[in-house]
Amino acid sequence: MMEGLLNIIINQESSSLLYNAFAACLFLIAFRMLFKQVSRFYRPSTSPARVRLAQMSSHISSGLTKGPRSEKENDATSTLADIPKSNTFTSKLPPDSQYPTPLESHQAPRQKLGPRMVREALYTYVRPEPTEDPELLAVSRAALRDIGLADSEANSEELKEVVAGNKFYWDEENGGIYPWAQCYGGFQFGQWAGQLGDGRAISLFEATNPKTKVRYELQLKGAGKTPYSRFADGKAVLRSSIREFVVSEYLNAIGIPTTRALSLTLCPKSTVIREQLEPGAIVCRFAESWLRLGTFDLMRSRGDRNLIRKVATYIAEDVFGGWESLPAVLPSDTKDAHPDPARGVPKDELQGKEGAEENRFTRLYREIVRRNAKVVGMWQAYGFMNGVLNTDNTSIFGLSMDYGPFAFMDNFDPTYTPNHDDHMLRYSYRAQPTIIWWNLVRLGESLGELIGSGERVDDEVFVEKGVEEDFAPILIKRAETIIDQIADEYKAVFFSEYRRLMTLRLGLKTQKEGDFEKLFSELLDTLEALELDFNHFFRRLSTVRLEDVSTKENREQTAERFFHHEGVTGLNETNESGRERIGKWLDSWRERIVEDWGTESSTDEDREKAMKAVNPNFVPRGWLLDDIIDRVQNKKERDILQGVMEMSLNPFQDEWNWNEEIEKKYCGDVPRYQRAIQCSCSS
């Protein structure tokens, strides 16, 4: 079995036998380490609450946002034509040798730019396929603001043409910025999938917000074939495009790092073949970086050690803002607390104890790990599931990305997966922390030679020839030790973020050691047993006043607020047992609320306001996304998208005043037989 796994990891086309041997050894180490971590934290118990904590810990073992955002006024004045543009990615990284310049790609017939293998390159110059009679369905105001574009651009002909793929900022006479598609690989469902890449996404340019100075890479998803399309058509269907457009902006609104969506365009003359014929669409999306862990997977599989170093350096210097911006090693006396680490370490400085000396590439790995640990903590706290967390769908920037069969939790069920092809529950809710760490271990394997080299990382012999035989055992041991230490850091950052958000969602001001088991885990056990809605519970808890939980009778009466309209549906549970169980939990919650807020009923209003600011009223669940898709695609309704985007950009509001009936429907109970629906990866 292990030999077979190594054959997946180490591709025979590697140019260096020594590099192959090193990578194989590091894979064995990382694989063993993963299971060692699982066994270290899993401690069976007869208590369901303790079992849940143990499960969560074991899953963890195998950049960053400030919190929920409210819509702000847009004072930007830039147009799409005049906003500062760049192409840092294509200017600093190697292109596809078959079309090494924009001119050579542009002069090639468009059909010649289709699927093939691309080597020793990070991208291919490729132009979008034109769209005939595009219909601009929606533009996100928040996206315009964050890019630095004026609100008026939503109605401009320039934007309409650019986001439909009909215009880009290059011509043969004056040059400019030519579009490109990225090359990367990935592990899909745990198996090596080889070269993948941007099969239907084409980046247009990087835009820098004149005010914030944040740089975003804008790309079109569904804009046509690229060399990375494999057997696909390079198109995207309207159904999946609506889903991605809505969830991208929604996650940003609730404070979860994510790729963004500027616009949604219908391609009325484009019919796409999936399980059936469907209308095509294009999403213009953007991110600080579209690099993925799978970028390194492909380079490692091919033995491109120099390219690994080049891309890692690009990420540190051009994506994260310089080597000095990366996190330092944590002081040993604060190991358990894992505070935000110091930064500002000089590029060439080594840190850490003997045998685990950390160079700058370790600090880069730590940054990527910490970002991903934090975003997973946010997913778990808000019940979000990506559905297909392959390494090619895992961001080096710590962003939620590539929205296929995603979902938000309806009835709380830790085994739920939104992907109907995920028969082994690899991408289920409870497995997400495990899988992201599994993916990050793959990154550790790719960076292992650089991480383990310690002080020799810039030695001429090492840079040019690789690992010398007598140094290999030292390098491997150091890499193993460092990755093991960062595994602990991943776990700690995840728990810290999860605990922070759960504390806020429950209306608490402070964190206490006993909260995790007495409040968090007991609540999750109760929600699971009674089959109650995860996000509805927190929103409805926001309106519970001290008087409502002052006595046992009041608590059990209040408990009914959390029931579905048909009552309790959990196996072997009744409305009576539900009232009793929730009432008991509410008693524990009341004690903590009194500790943090006092006994005065006058604090109820302030607490409700604080809780509503972190517990969304609107959640884009699977059933309502299906309803929106039906209205737009089949009933030709267009206003529904504008209303839903108003709700998505302001999800914490009590009401939006655009359609009272739809607002009530979308924020109310999920229809019983539409809970926990699943999707395919077809898009």
The confidence score (pLDDT) of residue 320 equals: 98
What per-residue confidence (pLDDT) applies to 21? 40
**pLDDT computed for residue 67 by the predictor:** 55
Domain definitions of the chain by residue range: 2-62+296-503, 85-290, 508-541+543-612, 622-674
Q: Is the pLDDT of residue 212 over 80?
A: yes
Catalytic, 392? Answer yes
What local confidence, expressed as pLDDT, does residue 23 receive? 44
User: What is the tens place of the pLDDT at every residue in 25-76?
Assistant: 444 444 344 434 333 333 333 344 333 434 443 444 333 444 565 567 788 8
Position 61 scores a pLDDT of 38
Tell me the one-letter amino acid at 352: G
Q: At residue 13, what is the residue type?
A: E
pLDDT surpassing 90 at residue 674: no
- At 681 the pLDDT is 65
pLDDT value of position 527: 97
Q: Per residue, what are the HEC states of 433-502?
A: HHHHHHHHHHHHHHHHHHHHCHHHCCCHHHHHHCCCCCCHHHHHHHHHHHHHHHHHHHHHHHHHHHHHHH
71 close to 161: Cβ distance less than 8 angstroms: no
pLDDT of amino acid 340: 81
Give the three-class secondary structure for 3: helix
H or E element that contains 22 = helix 17-41
Tokens 């590099």 sit at which residue? 19
Q: Pick the most confident of 8-17, 177-186, 350-359.
A: 177-186
The answer to whether the CB of 170 falls within 8 A of the CB of 295 is no
Least confident of 21-30, 144-153, 192-201, 455-464: 21-30
CB 534 within 8 A of CB 409: yes
Query: Which tokens in the block code for residue 571?
Result: 């196996």
Of 146, 198, 304, 392, which is the active-site residue? 392
Least confident of 228-237, 278-287, 623-632: 228-237
Instruction: Report, as an integer, the average pLDDT of 271-298.
Output: 94
What ranges make up the beta strands (E) of 224-337? Answer: 236-237, 260-273, 277-287
The mean pLDDT of 167-189, rounded to a whole number, is 97
Rounded mean pLDDT of 121-127?
99
Residue with tokens 């080889």: 194
Q: Residue 232: is its pLDDT beyond 90?
A: no
Three-class secondary structure of residue 270 per DSSP: strand
User: 562-603: per-residue pLDDT in tens?
Assistant: 999 898 888 888 999 999 999 999 999 999 999 999 998 789
pLDDT in tens, 415-468: 999 998 989 999 999 999 999 999 999 999 999 999 999 999 999 999 999 999
* pLDDT at position 11 over 80: no
8 Å CB contact between 340 and 66 = no
386: Cβ–Cβ under 8 A, 6 or more apart, which residues? 379, 393, 400, 402, 403, 404, 406, 427, 432
